[in-house]
Structure 1
């Protein structure tokens, strides 16, 4: 997605996401941009108390473009078109706050997670600096509709993509692509690292994956953090299974590097950042498959 837009079509979002496929797969890497969606359903905008510019602060704006070069290198890129503040696929399927809804949530809903408490469940309550999205309760059926028509198809496709890659190469390595604000908010203006890598503290991929990416970034002059403040969300935790040869690394890039955060515009250095990411991907793609196989994961 390059720019935000709204839709009032009957189908709202059709398609809600896509997968950019290479002509020929050249390795076990898969890339995913679940938060770069910028198409806002009109019916959503009609029930929010916030303007579009404020809602967009929760986007990983342009992240799919930063990683688009992976397709020419032989790796698929999956990307969402719907915004994360509408439904967040980097959460459990039913992390929902009962205070947000009219009606009874399903008994299997997770209503007590830390993410729900912070207002950032599958259907978010807040964006940006804890700004409330809605000024009214939503029908439960609305949340369930978003999950059934957007969240679940997204994950079915991601599972198939990883399954196909694992079948073809014996291993699969998912890079979950995100961006982060340059500071935590008005109360904390300390600059963040250029990139934060999340591997769930070493549990979602073998160490050589994180080490290879971190070294490549540092060689290019970037300041790199590991797991703090982002260790990886639901996708990293849920799909990462080194013991079965499926590895996941979350990649969070500081927005100030490539965009004007206030105006939501690409910065002058955008193409250079994209080129550097491509170099990092090349280093990751050069890892021997044996380093990713289950026997190696078990040994480490």
Structure 2
């Protein structure tokens, strides 16, 4: 059963009542609407389709507007359309009507079946019975992709206009284990981190901002790594422009710490995790209020995290 009985808009947006700050928290992969055309064309049941969903991440961060950030969250399933992709990442193996086009992007993500319109939800887990028509794909792009990214871009531009700087926190979740190289009989590997911060190896945001985020999350008791195994996706690569004072940081939360990955149900500790993330977000925003008049340095970040 899907969350919406009628066709929802591309995203929801929650704005602070007061005390707005130059922060946007975006959740592109937690959408819970599975359209009828997806379900009828898929060989998978809804529960299996949901295995690619960043389940409940929007709810983990639903308090950030209380401390000054805008929260924008996609409504539609990631299996239907992936907002964290370049719009040119279309898969000719999946979509009719792409022959002869020279504007496509042949990325590793497309080759893995994880383009704008995903072909799989995981290794050896194809979604569709057959190929899709290009008209259907363009409809999804126009109805969902364009409105979400237009709004996200406008929110960041508004931050620049008002404050001269903008911070985008792109919020995701990750499975607790990853498939190993198929050429080696290694099975799956456990991710030894609660949270992975991705700044595209220092290119999508100020490294000191990443260091500050890491310090504050560690203070909340999370085990944190940077960039491995997730350095950032299209959103951080596309919007992060530190030289223009737009800083984009991806945050990946280990699903195993807040939900049962088999039943897809939240654990009893769900709201404790949410409270810790809320305190992190509030501290991060407060630190930037003070840091706006001070140089970004690792020492400054460590001092704030220790207070």
Q: 1:251 aligns to what SS in structure 2?
A: strand
1:251 aligns with 2:251: yes
Q: Which residue of 1 aligns with 2:177?
A: 183
Q: 2:63 aligns to what SS in structure 1?
A: helix
Cα RMSD after superposing both structures = 2.0
Q: Which residue of 1 aligns with 2:304?
A: none
Corresponding pairs, count: 290
TM-superposition CA deviations, 1:107-153 (whole Å, max 9, x none): 25424111100100000010023411112111111111111111011
1:20 aligns with 2:14: yes
Q: Which residue of 1 aligns with 2:71?
A: 77
Q: Distance in 2 between matches of 1:111 and 1:245?
A: 28
Question: Residue 88 of structure 1: which of 82, 88, 100 is its match?
Answer: 82
Unaligned segments of structure 2, at least 5 residues: 181-186, 298-307
Pair 1:234–1:264, CA change in 2 (3 A): same
Q: 2:89 aligns to what SS in structure 1?
A: coil
Q: Distance in 2 between matches of 1:292 and 1:138?
A: 49
TM-superposition CA deviations, 1:229-278 (whole Å, max 9, x none): 10110000000001111000000000011111111111010111011101
Question: Residue 127 of structure 2: which of 121, 128, 133 is its match?
Answer: 133
TM-score between the two structures when normalised by the length of structure 2: 0.89
8 Å CA contact 1:212–1:283 kept in 2: the answer is: no
Shift of 1:185: 3.9
Q: Distance in 1 between matches of 2:233 and 2:124?
A: 19
TM-superposition CA deviations, 1:18-75 (whole Å, max 9, x none): 1111112432111000000010101111001111111001101000000001011121
TM-score between the two structures when normalised by the length of structure 1: 0.91
Q: Distance in 2 between matches of 1:106 and 1:276?
A: 51
TM-superposition CA deviations, 1:190-237 (whole Å, max 9, x none): 243100000000011111211111111212222111001101100000
1:54 aligns with 2:48: yes
Q: Which residue of 2 aligns with 1:237?
A: 237
Q: 1:98 aligns to what SS in structure 2?
A: coil
8 Å CA contact 2:31–2:74 kept in 1: the answer is: yes
